[in-house]
Amino acid sequence: MDVSSHDVLLVGGGGAGLRAAIAAAEVNPQLSIAVVSKVYPMRSHTVSAEGGAAGVIKEDDSLDEHAYDSISGGDWLCDQDAVETFVKEAPQELLQLERWGCPWSREPNGHIAVRAFGGMKKRRTWFAADKTGFHMLHTLFQTSLRFDPITRYDEWFVTKLLVDEGRVQGVVAIELMSGRIQAITAKSVILCTGGCGRIFPFTTNANIKNGDGMALAYRAGAPLKDMEFVQYHPTGLPFTGILITEAARSEGGYMLNKDGYRYLQDYNLGKPQPKPVLRSMELGPRDRLSQAFVSEDQKGRTIQTPYGSIVHLDLRHLGEKVINTKLPFVRELCMKYQNIDPVKELIPVRPVVHYMMGGVSTDIDGATPLAGLYAAGEVACVSINGANRLGSNSLPECLVFGARAGKAAALFAAQQKVPNGSVLAQATDERKRLESQFLFKTGGRERISTIREGMQTTVEKCAGIYRDGASLAEGADTLRQLQERFADINLDDHNRTFNTELEAALELGFMLDVAESIVQCALHRTESRGAHQRTDFPARDDKRFLAHSIVHRNPDGSSRVELLPVKITRWAPGERVYGELSQTNEPPQAVLTRKAG
Amino acid sequence: MIMADKIILEVARYSPEQDTKPCFATYEVPVHKEWVVLDALNYIKDKVDGSLTYRWSCRMGICGSCGMMVNGEPKLTCATFLSSYAHNGNKIRVEPLRYFPVVRDLVTELSDFLVKLKKVKPWLIRKDTVPLSQGEFLQTPEQLDYYKQFSMCINCTLCYSACPVVGLDPKFVGPAAIALAQRYNLDSRDQGAVERIAVLAHPEGIWGCTFVGECTKVCPKHVDPAGAIQQYKLNAVLDWLTSFLMPRGHNSQDVKP
């Protein structure tokens, strides 16, 4: 078997992966760094992020306020040490990106411009019109080209982590172009593969978002954390699931039900004002807005369409000029994909699966409990997002924790010996598995798309915006049956060259494992918090569940869920308050005293 | 006009392991109002033939993966509606992007394009080092507007498939890479225009372009690579002229406001 060797290996070349690669190259230019990505890095899903990236930069703002907004927005499930690190380093990272050429939108005097965002009490979201992720990703990719220690493996699909002597020592990957299956060894591995929205039938996530990294880690013995917390974004276009950015609301858009009524006023989110008010109404947090949609739907106040119930997002009063300057991509997407012009027409929207708060459990340096394995970005759960992420926190999360993981993995790699030969035997076994169970197997009876659709319907039905014990238990059974049927899969394609059907089958395998972890965590958490709403346990229960779900994979493929207490540094759990009350009350200041040191 | 409820797709198929040359396979697919050409390909892959091979990802016209020739024109298939072809028994012919080597079916080989991108040094070049503690480089909205259009390229390579020069001379740096170089040259924060001259002001750089303008016509993001090239040519000529008058170090590529 062919082998190539590096010091630090990145799986994934999006925002977190490229930031990590550059950080590793800067911390130690002697290291050899590999970026292994199943797509060309500039195709990574960071490219689709629209609204912006939060980082305290203006005089009227403070790190404590960003921390408080994030912690209350996350329904007190955030680890507060991670949040404090995050808010402190986010502005530095955004500034670094400015130095690398990111075309941030500006104020007339040339300084960085910021916009309002949901759940944020101050304007602190940096933006590049409404293509922020696109510009960040291309800036990072283009900048990464000048770092010689970075070797790219473009369009290589990672199938397995190689673990020996309790330490991750590389990966097995398929070079799509040739179909060659080989080992790439490394002294440390960082997972930056993003989320897993494609587990659900209706998502903003790109086709490549299959929970690859989550499943790789989970199978290798690293636990996942808080997998029950799935974010539904309130404004997706029906049918396609294309995201209409929250920035549309921060610029002043209204959410209207079928009667043209701003229904959010009925859900404890404040009173409607003509202009946007921070932490109020349309600028409430995403979990609360998506839940309000379900209630409106139950009251019969939504509009029925062939692609599900919808409400309207109204931007007409903003005028063509504001829409063209601040939201050009929203207009482009509406016109190209929905055949409507938001300058003159209402935009039909419904909640859509958007983001995983949960992921591979890491510390604030991106390290997982498995030696040599790191994770950053959406694939990871460092716990800055808790039970509900605030819009515009995920892009800076990629940068802050991508950079931290890159540095930590570089330091770790410098202390390790060259991976030993026994991982190569594992790699050979993996190649045989791929060939016998997929590539050259004949006589299977199941189609990939049938099982994938079965999984998507099941997960949406049992682990959607509202859940209950009975349907979760039923969903868990159905997923187990789908796992069995998956073993009987049949491929039409037995070519080695660019075999996308093989890739899709392996992705489906990843998704089934991750779906199982979502449902098991959701079953285990018998309370309601943030994006996890149990109709059979409607209240938050801090006595039992001010804790993370940690889910391990047992050797037989089943899972076990344990609880890990949330780290509270300075903000004691309180009620989440939006609307007028959040305007008049000062945010509870550090009620706990910071420990010395 | 009445929209047909089914349409025929003729799709180019080629596997280097099985075929000596590409051929076309024909599929009948349902037409839904909301469906784009990519949805039809996904229908075929999911329901009919899992070996059909193509790239796609975001389905919202921003990742740049799904460019193909649709009835002879380079298109993002996620933004090309079936309904616009589904009249009067029309067929849709889908082929890989022209002028690129074909890996398989609708997948083209992109590594040469990536080499060209890197060649133009598409990163911010500064002669000084300013610590982050000094805050952002100032840039007014007018200065941002000056290069913004050229920063919108999604690297979909449709412009290479539209460009007859690329077809004749594969070494031509090409529209997207030159536009990207201009994106940095025109950025008020950049000081690297001089370093990019060698690649750009070269027979395989801007002087290769015969100004057909097809690149700009097919660009799904209105980047206007043809405009970038013409602008650079003009400045290069000015440079050549002024080099007689001001032999020491004048560079009109540095034309930023």
Q: B257 CB near a chain A CB, below 8 Å?
A: no
The residue among B156, B153, B151 whose CA lies nearest residue B124 is B151
- d(C-alpha A273, C-alpha A264), whole Å: 12
CB B26 within 8 A of CB B9: yes
User: A492, B155: Cβ pair inside 8 Å?
Assistant: no
What pLDDT does residue A584 have? Answer: 55
> What's CA B214's distance to the chain center, in Å?
11
- d(C-alpha A188, C-alpha A8), whole Å: 5
**Which strands sit side by side in the sheet containing B23-30, from one edge to the other?**
B23-30, B6-13, B91-95, B67-70, B73-76
The residue of chain A nearest to residue B155, with distances taken between CA atoms, is A42
Residue B31 has pLDDT above 70, yes or no: yes
CB A150 within 8 A of CB A6: no
CB B184 within 8 A of CB A101: yes
Residue A176 neighbours by CB under 8 Å, 6+ apart: A38, A155, A156, A157, A498, A499, A500, A503
- Residues in chain A, pLDDT under 50: 593-597
Residue A358 neighbours by CB under 8 Å, 6+ apart: A224, A225, A226, A227, A228, A229, A230, A381, A518, A521, A549
Tokens of B61: 């016209």
User: A206, B123: Cβ pair inside 8 Å?
Assistant: no
The residue among A521, A527, A531 whose CA lies nearest residue A351 is A531
What pLDDT does residue A361 have? Answer: 98
- Domains, in order of start, for chain B: 6-108 (3.10.20.30), 111-245 (1.10.1060.10)
Instruction: Name A443's bridge partners.
Output: none
CB B123 within 8 A of CB A100: yes
A19 residue type, one letter: R
Instruction: Name A561's bridge partners.
Output: A551
Annotated active-site residue A233? The verdict is: yes
Tokens of B256: 């930023």
- Which of the following is catalytic: A233, A354, A389, A548? A233
Residues in chain B: 257
Q: B53 CB near a chain A CB, below 8 Å?
A: yes
Residue A321 neighbours by CB under 8 Å, 6+ apart: none
CB B16 within 8 A of CB B67: no
Rounded-to-10 torsion of CA A433, A437, A440, A442: 160
Residue B89 has pLDDT above 80, yes or no: no
Give the one of A108, A240, A243 whose C-beta lies nearest to B140's C-beta. Answer: A108
User: B141, A108: Cβ pair inside 8 Å?
Assistant: yes
What pLDDT does residue B237 have? Answer: 77
Residues 191-250 of B with CB under 8 A from A: none
Give the one of B49, B130, B144 whose C-beta lies nearest to A106's C-beta. Answer: B144
Give the one of A107, A145, A495 whose C-beta lies nearest to B51's C-beta. Answer: A495
Tokens of A471: 């349907």
CB A101 within 8 A of CB A567: no
> pTM for this structure?
0.96
- d(C-alpha A186, C-alpha B156), whole Å: 32
Confidence of residue B110 (pLDDT cuts 50, 70, 90): very high
What pLDDT does residue A597 have? Answer: 34
Interface A:B, Cβ pairs < 8 A: 158
Q: B39 CB near a chain A CB, below 8 Å?
A: no
Tokens of A349: 């929207």
Instruction: Name A174's bridge partners.
Output: A157, A181
Tokens of B253: 């590529």
Q: How does pLDDT run across A82-135, given as a tens digit for each residue? A: 999 999 999 999 999 999 999 999 999 999 999 999 999 999 999 999 999 999
Residue B152 has pLDDT above 80, yes or no: yes
What pLDDT does residue A594 have? Answer: 45
The residue of chain A nearest to residue B150, with distances taken between CA atoms, is A103
Which residue in B33, B51, B60 has the most chain A C-beta atoms within 10 A of its own C-beta, making it the best mutation to test that interface? B60
User: B53, A111: Cβ pair inside 8 Å?
Assistant: no
CB A519 within 8 A of CB A197: no
CB A53 within 8 A of CB B67: no
